[in-house]
Structures are given as C-alpha cells and as structure tokens.
Structure 1
Amino acid sequence: MAPSGIASVVGEHYALEGADLVPVSGGADLNASLWRATDARGRRFAVKWSSGGSPAGLVLPAALNAVRPGSAPEPLPARTGALWVDTGGARLSVMEWVEGTSALETPPGPAGWRELGQILAALHGVPLGDEALERVPREDFDPGRWAGLFERVDTALDAGPAEGIGRRLAELWSGNRSALREVHRRTIDLAARLRERDGLPGFAACHADPHLGNLVIATDGRPVLIDFDDAVLAPRERDLMFVLGGGVLADRAATEEQQGLFLDGYGHHRVDAELLAYYRGLRVLEDASELAGIVIDPASGEEERREAFGHVRGVFSPTGLLAQALSE
C-alpha cells in the first residue's frame, strides 16, 4: 500500500495527526510492511501492517515495559485502547520509534552486556497470569517446520547441477552435509524426548530472537530490545541460546567475557543442557535451510542471493552455529 493509503488507515484508528509515513525496507518478515511515521509534533513511530504471526510482538513489549520501563519500544494504543487493530485482512500496529543505532553497528560495552542480561531476566520474570499473554504462542517442541524445510533444501542441493552462486552453495553444503544431517537427526530425537520428559523447567515469556541485530543502543545509551514477532512462552533456554556458547552471529560471536557479563546481569540460572542443545540444533536447521532456500530460489535477486550465501557461510564457520551444535 502507498504511504498515503496507509496514512489514511492509521489516521482512522490512531491519534496521529498529520503523520508523514516513509517505507522502511530491509526487514526479514516477508508477511509485513513497515513504515516510519512522523507526526505533526515531530514524534516518530514504527507503523507495521502484518498478515502473519501473532499479536505477541505487541503484548510482550507492553508487559516488559510494565516491569522494566524503557527496555522495549512502547506500543501506542489505538483510539479504542487496543494494542493493535485488525483491518484489511491484516494486523495494524503503531509503536514508539527508538532513536539510536543497531548493536551490530555500535557493539555493547560491558555495561550493555549486563543490561541485556537484566532485560531478559525481567522479560523471563513477567507474570504469566495476565489475560493478554494468552495470545502468546506456547512452545510445543515440534521441529517439523524447520526439519521439513531442511529436508527439502538438502534434497534440492543434492539433486542436480547449479550455476554460479548456486554451485558454490552446493559445494559448501556438500562439505557440511553429514554434520547437518546429524544435527537434523539429533534435533528430532531431542524434540521427541522433550515432549515426553517429566520435570521440564517452568515456561517464561521469551523473545525468541534476541541477537544483537534486534538490540538498539538508544541515543541515551540504554539498550532496547526490539522485534518481538517470534515471541513465545517457553523455557528460558529459548533466549539464553542467543548468548551462551557464542550465540547465533558468527561474525559477532559472544566472547566468554561477554557471556560472563551477560550472566552477571541475568542472575543465577541452572542451564538445562538438553534444552539448550535442542534450541541450538533447531536454529541451525532454520538458518541454514532458510538462507540456502533464498540462494536457490529463482525469484531471489542477485544481491539477495549473495547476502544469504554469506550468512550460510557464517553458520558453517568455526564460530558458527553448526560448530556449536556439534560440540554438545
């Protein structure tokens, strides 16, 4: 939808007078469109129109800010008081625009790593009795989506000749195929055990994707956690996996010192090794398969393919997720 059209819809449902909307590109959510809105008073907001996911991305930031203000963007209620509006077959929402830079560009210092630990501890401590949290999906230990995608991509890369970057991907994948298939097998086995296991740790409100790309260092220096679209009620290891062991970003792997600073902020928690292994294996299947799928998709642009291929190499690097998963 054009900015003028979305501005009209936003004006109908939200008290944003004279809002000027500019499209924001580069997001990973293919089911959503994002705009930056500036109202007549100069305030900035993120306007999102999404046809996928759940309202968890709005419910949890509000719940987190209630216990630790400023830790996440604040949703702007609609005229009805609701955190979102269902309109045009999609979910429309408006949130505070956090002024600052990505933690990928401005890496957190020691205080930032401690604060990230404090933010996740506060999120994991959000009381789950609130009626709004009933809208947040609950972990079911079903790896079918990513295990199935891995099987399809693995078959496609093993099936026939490829040219250019597709051939380079096929060669890279072939060199890691046995390790990937082992992680695939382990993850499915772990899921089956976890579904039957007695005495699982209690579930908590989890962000489910708290890597540095989803952390903004605000202009006042505070870290702010953004993009709660994958939020889920799950064991804490669902989030801790993004720091412990190095995390998911091979070129920004968390050092032992940074992990220690994070845990200083987070506080004591006895990590469940089986849960950590499951979530790490699941993320290997997700990242490797989804990124490789972009490379082999004829509809992908050349620049998009190159970027995805670079990320696949990161997954397979010595500091990447595959190496972490195999070390467990």
Structure 2
Amino acid sequence: MHHDLLRDELKSLTTEAADASLDDIDLVSTLEAAQRMNAGDRSVPAAVEPCLPAIALAADSIAAAFARGGRLIYVGAGTPGRLGVLDASECPPTFGSDPSQVVGVIAGGDVALTTAIEGAEDDEAAAVRDLDTLGLTADDVVVGISASGRTPYVIAAILEARRRSALSVSIACNPDSAAGREADIAIDVVVGPEFIAGSTRLKAGTAQKLVLNMLTTLAMVRSNKTYGNRMVDVRATNAKLAARSFSLVQDVTGADDPVVSSALAEADGEVKTAIAVILTGLSAPSARQRLADAGGSLRAVIS
C-alpha cells in the first residue's frame, strides 16, 4: 500500500514527468540531442527569477545569523546534499570565512559524497541525529535541499530546525513542495521535466547550484566580506590566490608594486588590511582593529 501511495505521489511531481518531445533522443544525432538539452537548460535561470524575493529574504536572514554568531547549515541527500557540501567548502577560500560558518550535511555521511547510500534519504532519525551532532541552535539557519521537495531526511531536518527555533529554508523544484510547506522560507524553483525523465541532477541540480551560489554570495556581501564585487577577504592558500591578492590590492589602491608588496607583508597577507594600510596610512594592527570595529567593512574604514 505504501508503495502505491508513493507511486501516485511521484506521478504528480513535475520533476518526475517525462517530456514527450524528447521521446526520440536516442534516434537523433548527438549534436541535435545536445542542442535540445541546451535549449532546455536555458529555461533554468528564468525559473529562478520568480523566486528572487524569497532568495533575497533567505540571504538577509543568513547574514543576520552570521552577525549573531550563527551558522548556515545545508542539508540534503544525494545530488542536493553534494551541492550543499560543495557550496559550503568553497566559502572559506573565497570569503575568508571560518570553515564552521557554512556547513554541508549529506544523508549517509561523507561516504555519500562519492557513493549512493541505499535508504539514506528516507532516514528521518538520522537527520535529527546529524543536526544534534552539530549542536543546532536558534542562532543557526537550516537550508534543506531536495529536488522533489518530499525527501524524508530533508523534511525531518526542517522540522527539527523548527523544534529548536532555528530559521528553516527549503529549496525544491516542484510547486508548493512538501518541504516548502514546512519551512519558514520556501524557494520552489519549477524547472519542469528533465532531459532524462526523473534525472534531477540535470536542470534541478543546475537550479539548486544557482540558488546556493546566491545564498552564500549575497549573505557574504551583506556581511562585508567583499568590497564592491572584489573578494577582499580571500585567503592566499596557493600561488594563484597569492597573485590574485596582489592584483586586488593594486586594483583597489592603484599603488605601485613595491608599496603593494610591503603592505601585504605588513598585513600578513590580509588583502583587506593591506588596502586599508595603503589608503589610510594606518599601521597594519591599527587598520585591522579599525576593520574589526567597523564589522569588517572596508568601505566604512577607507571613507
């Protein structure tokens, strides 16, 4: 009986529907198939557009959580879980954020990043345990990611967030999704049937990546982690990023090479501090303190 109900439920989801116009993709040339796939992919950003007010609200809420010492916690199973872990892992090198500030949780644990774990997405108790292990508090924001919007692991995480008075956000790819109905903020990006019916790593995965990009990027901009569109909190952890750091300081200040090199050395490689040193004449410790007092806002310090 349970399987009959599940089948009926899945039939009603646009993410599970088959596009009849693609029934012959195995008969056409590879180029034509690629052209059709590309045409379908072009619809994804347009599907995100109606969700922009909800995305902006969520980004502001995440920035507010950061300001009170809270975290952004992504929760998902399978592809959505991997996308959450990916976005979380890219925040420290891009924004100089603490690795604990944005966290990705995937059903089944780290092994699920590379291997499909049978039944992990249905394990509601595991979602509660995983958030408990993280020490979820009311200061945090939980973002549940699920293409169908009905993944039990994700819905359980959203309900646990509510129980602990943490703000919850749902990202799904069906209208009026089950997860969205339980969350404080629902982001339902309706991308329609996939190129391969039900393969939600395709348009749905692209839509989720776009939304995750927006959530962290906009929250970090609101948190003064950038100067305009410059990543001035970047950490120079490799040669490419060291070169980028030098270019950033020079781009913002217009200073000569020796001045930039000296300021970066004095600032222990901190781009924001080096820029403040050059533009204000402060010592690195004073510039660092001024930035801290201004909530990390380089614009406030140099103006």
TM-score (norm: length of structure 2) = 0.25
Structure with higher Rg: it is 2
Larger helix share, 1 or 2: 2
